[in-house]
Amino acid sequence: MNTVTISSKYQVVIPRQIREQFNLKPGTKIMFIPYNETLRVVIVPPIEHAQGMFAGIDTDPQREKTDRPI
């Protein structure tokens, strides 16, 4: 089990084993999610990884034939 201590500036150091296991590099974004009495840490993937996520989706905008009165 990896235990860290929160510094006086509320910072923590991610242990080397965890950094290597999850390939964490400087600039990687993470999110803290409170859940019941725990705190979950989730890696936020870069937006570039979203390309092709919805393959085959219809991106043609569906519009009204005529403008609706305001």
Element (H, E) at 20: helix 16-21
- Provide the pLDDT confidence category of residue 38 given band limits of 50, 70 and 90: very high
Predicted TM-score (pTM) of the model is 0.61
- Provide the pLDDT confidence category of residue 56 given band limits of 50, 70 and 90: confident
- When comparing pLDDT for 8 and 70, which is higher? 8
Q: Is 1 exposed, middle or buried (0-12, 13-18, 19+ CB in 10 A)?
A: exposed
